[in-house]
Amino acid sequence: MCQDAPLTGSPERAARRLEEIRASRRTVLTAAASGLAFSSALGAAAPADAASPRTRKRCYVLVTDGCRPDEIEPTLTPNLHALREGGMWWPRATSMPVMETIPNHVMMMTGVRPDRSGVPANSFYDRELGEIRDMDQPSDIRVKTIIERLNKRGFTTGTVLSKEYLVGVFGERATHRWEPELYIPVSGHAPDLLTYNALTSMVDEFDPHLVFVNLGDIDRVGHTDFTGTNLRLLRQAALLDTDLLVGRFIDGLKSSGAWEHSMVIVLADHSMDWSIPTNVITLQGAMDEDPLLAGNVVIADNGGADLVYWTGPKGKLDKAVKRIQQIAEATPGVLKAWDRRTPWLRLGPESGDVVVFCQAGWRFSDPNPITNNPIPGNHGHPATRSIPFFIGGGHPAVKAGKVFSAHARTVDVAPTVAKFFGMRTPKKRYDGKPRI
């Protein structure tokens, strides 16, 4: 779930952000010709070619947030479909647990799984603070991102992220950053038209080698589409609009000649699933009724996944994990409750002790069954793991019209970008694989 983003933009928030930017010695604020403001690392507010490695290569990672792979089709999304058909396509691509926005964006840029990056979910229980919070702090990412690695080699980078928690978690890593100050009420994101303007403006103004873009409309409208779990009329309208903007961006690359040197990676961070109002799971009550667990369990709700934390004595952890699993799996709508230490999950201690996934068509609302998660569209559970993943572009590294059976994942983006720019494999290897 993504609802933990601010529901409204606020002048106070904007003022605080500006204050933070001004206070930073490493950041300068640039007003572009479009009227949009960009934050840039000190000394970097100039086009890339001035002080960067001599290459015309450009890479754009466009995240169509929450897009399902079956939504890429000729009628609804003709531009995305054409980009897919003309480039390299991995039909078996998936998001990685937990199938949420922040961890998968972090996996894209770090190339490593959450047990290494430290970012397993959107919402988690911060044991030090003793509270549930979003993973939206720059220090939440414990490893170097491809953004920083490129910067270190003299390349320039940009982030154009429509969601505030993404702006937060990636912080000041990129050379140039667009940081929207106002968000659409309820959905809590900057609209794609604004994001698109920021992207084109950043490319015109700074032309970074890598731009990492999150287009949030498809996801945000999907979350709140109350036209029905199946019709999804608003969602379809968002798909049409976002597709149009992507098409415009590609046309712009082609008309400027940049296309021949560009690689455009298009993927989603997760898919989307819709639940009906009666299919809501709340585990907190059942945990509180258990003698062992009462008062010793905290749940971080992530829409399609609940992260359950044991806060009781360490010596009773194993017993508590089993009890949590039993209670969760006996609850209607629960697909599976995993011991977080299960090797394949690779989530790390930040994700708690038990990770509970719901079935398709259900959602979690913890701890309060009414107020915590009222929206129909959710992700985080296995029913939302499939994603579109394709690479277009005119650069020779992009093989036209190739389809691959390999299992591409969000974690593959960083190694792919690294290979494109000729970077060496880091000492601590990527968990992902380059796809070019």
Q: Which residues bind other proteins (CB under 8 A)?
A: 69-70, 73, 89, 91-92, 94, 230-231, 271, 335, 344, 359-361, 381-386, 403-407, 409
Q: Which is nearer to other proteins, 91 or 374 (CB)?
A: 91
In the complex, minimum distance from the CB of residue 235 to other proteins, in angstroms, rounded to a whole number: 13
In the complex, minimum distance from the CB of residue 425 to other proteins, in angstroms, rounded to a whole number: 19
Q: Which is nearer to other proteins, 94 or 122 (CB)?
A: 94
Backbone CA torsion sign across 24, 26, 31, 34: negative
In the complex, minimum distance from the CB of residue 385 to other proteins, in angstroms, rounded to a whole number: 5
Asked if 162 and 153 touch (Cβ cutoff 8 Å), the reply is no
Q: Tokens 């509970």, residue?
A: 356
Q: Which is nearer to other proteins, 323 or 379 (CB)?
A: 379
Q: Which is nearer to other proteins, 350 or 431 (CB)?
A: 431
> What would the two tokens of residue 211 be?
């731009």
Q: Which is nearer to other proteins, 53 or 361 (CB)?
A: 361
In the complex, minimum distance from the CB of residue 398 to other proteins, in angstroms, rounded to a whole number: 17
Q: Which is nearer to other proteins, 260 or 329 (CB)?
A: 329
Q: Which is nearer to other proteins, 51 or 406 (CB)?
A: 406
In the complex, minimum distance from the CB of residue 347 to other proteins, in angstroms, rounded to a whole number: 14
Q: Tokens 């970008």, residue?
A: 417
In the complex, minimum distance from the CB of residue 273 to other proteins, in angstroms, rounded to a whole number: 8
Q: Which is nearer to other proteins, 7 or 330 (CB)?
A: 330
In the complex, minimum distance from the CB of residue 340 to other proteins, in angstroms, rounded to a whole number: 17
In the complex, minimum distance from the CB of residue 387 to other proteins, in angstroms, rounded to a whole number: 10
In the complex, minimum distance from the CB of residue 178 to other proteins, in angstroms, rounded to a whole number: 32
Show the 3-state SS of the chain.
CCCCCCCCCCHHHHHHHHHHHHHCCCEEEEECCCCCEEEEECCCCCCHHHCCCCCCCEEEEEEECCCCHHHCCCCCCHHHHHHHHHCEECCCCECCCCCCHHHHHHHHHHCCCHHHHCCCCCEEEECCCCEEEECCCHHHCCCCCHHHHHHHCCCCEEEEECCHHHHHHHCCCCCEEECCCCCCCCCCCCCHHHHHHHHHHHHHHCCCCEEEEEECHHHHHHHHCCCCCCCCHHHHHHHHHHHHHHHHHHHHHHHHCHHHHEEEEEECCCCCEECCCCCEECCHHHHHHCCCCCCCEEEEECCCEEEEEECCCHHHHHHHHHHHHHHHHCCCCEEEEEECCCHHHCCCHHHCCEEEEECCCCEECCCCCCCCCCCCEECCCHHHCECCEEEECCCCCCCCCEECCCCCEHHHHHHHHHHHCCCCCCCCCCCCCCCC
- 179 phi/psi in degrees, rounded to 5: -125, 90
Q: Which is nearer to other proteins, 133 or 336 (CB)?
A: 336
In the complex, minimum distance from the CB of residue 127 to other proteins, in angstroms, rounded to a whole number: 29
Q: Which is nearer to other proteins, 73 or 260 (CB)?
A: 73
